[in-house]
Amino acid sequence: MSFELVAECNGARAGVLHTAHGDVETPIFMPVATRAAMRAMEMWQLEEMGAQIILANAYHLFLRPGDELVRDLGGLHQFAGWDRPWLTDSGGFQIFSLADLNKVTDDGVQFRSPVDGTSHFLRPEDSIRIQNNLGADVIMAFDECVRLPATPERVTGAVSRTIDWARRSRDAHERDDQHLFGIVQGGTNFEERDRCIEALLPLDFPGYALGGLSVGEDRQAMLDTVVHVNAQLPQDRPRYFMGIGKPADLTDCIARGVDMFDCVIGTRNGRTGTLFTTEGPLNMRNARFRRDETPLDAAGASPVGRRYSRAYIHHLYKSGELLGAVLGSLHNTWYLVDFVKQIRRSIIDGTYSTCASSSSSS
């Protein structure tokens, strides 16, 4: 088995996912390096903050520089200088959300490249081939993600395709050293979620993702769906909530048995100036920080938070200095990685409770 449960506490789980490039300790926050590049931090900074696995995106790398080039240069690990575990997204979500000119059929998706305007047709088999070429340790089935709210017909159609494409993804997958995860769709409709899970379980994926959540539904419906889905997923497989990362969401989803997370919120907020701290998120452009000599976050784990004053960080954003985005992204990513790491520790040493965790969230 590639996944071991180490501890459970009040519904939260701590585990280890074994991969070809090392162990991943769950629950875990996975920084997003879409084009095999974090925006904007060096790989050794990811090592310093204790990141164990990072994400890249099959769609973006297929378009540029090309998955075959990455394969020829030794795969993502060698190409990008990160020798620890990688996870690649299948590209489905990006095609549906980024490519305007797309046509979805039962066979796959037609879209136009924003890089050079060329037309492409991507089937589940193509996504898996691309991900085999990129060589990540965890790869994802090709699925159809529906933004909410959506009509019941839309959700049902997407679930049917997701089931069919999951089977085709598994059949196309050629590398034993990569874990292929299945993805559960179905919006906030429990019956559709059930239908998806029932069809996926016989395929025996080494891990399952909760897809199609945090895409427009209200928060309580999202959390209820997490509970409903997790109750039916096997205990001995990791559960990955795709695309969520606010501290409060991490806390609440870990409490409901989710093991893996990714989100661009750390780097995106880092560029705009909203920084996570142990006191909650702060908008560093706010004039109240102009003369604030307090360190950004003296109690936090990030060296940015301990070294730089709020007045200085404020100055960087107000002056449009690139260093603001750089420090902010580094700080936020460090914060999120460490935030989940601390929750993991508390699950293992038995001090975890949902209340204790919630109080430090935002």
Distance, in Å, from the CA atom of 187 to the CA atom of 159, rounded to the nearest integer, reads 9
Q: Rule CB under 8 A: choose which of 6, 11, 22, 37 binds its own copies.
A: 37
Task: Name residues contacting its own copies, limited to 70-129 (CB under 8 A).
Answer: 72-74, 78-81
Task: Name residues contacting its own copies, limited to 216-235 (CB under 8 A).
Answer: none
Contact 209, 182 (CB under 8 A): yes
Indicate if 143 belongs to the active site: no
Which member of 126, 249, 259, 262 is catalytic?
262
The contact pattern for its own copies, residues 44-73, with x = CB under 8 A and - = no contact, is x-------------------xx---x--xx
Contact 24, 355 (CB under 8 A): no
HSE (CB half, 13 Å, CA atoms) of 30?
27
Q: Which is nearer to its own copies, 147 or 290 (CB)?
A: 290
Indicate if 126 belongs to the active site: no
Question: In this structure, which amino acid lies at residue 86?
Answer: W
We find the least distance from the C-beta atom of residue 71 to its own copies, in angstroms, to be 12
Contact 65, 32 (CB under 8 A): no
Which member of 67, 89, 252, 338 is catalytic?
89
| 39 binds its own copies, rule: CB under 8 A | yes
Q: Which is nearer to its own copies, 9 or 43 (CB)?
A: 43
The Cβ of residue 45 has, within 10 Å, a number of other Cβ atoms equal to 17
Which two structure tokens, joined as six digits, stand for 149? 């709210």
Q: Which is nearer to its own copies, 290 or 345 (CB)?
A: 290
| 157 binds its own copies, rule: CB under 8 A | no
| 6 binds its own copies, rule: CB under 8 A | no
Interface size with its own copies, residues (CB under 8 A): 42
Contact 324, 314 (CB under 8 A): no
Task: Name residues contacting its own copies, limited to 299-338 (CB under 8 A).
Answer: 303-304, 307-309, 311-312, 315-316, 318-319, 321-327, 330
Interface ranges with its own copies (CB under 8 A):
35-44, 64-65, 69, 72-74, 78-81, 290-291, 293, 303-304, 307-309, 311-312, 315-316, 318-319, 321-327, 330
Residues that are catalytic: 89, 262
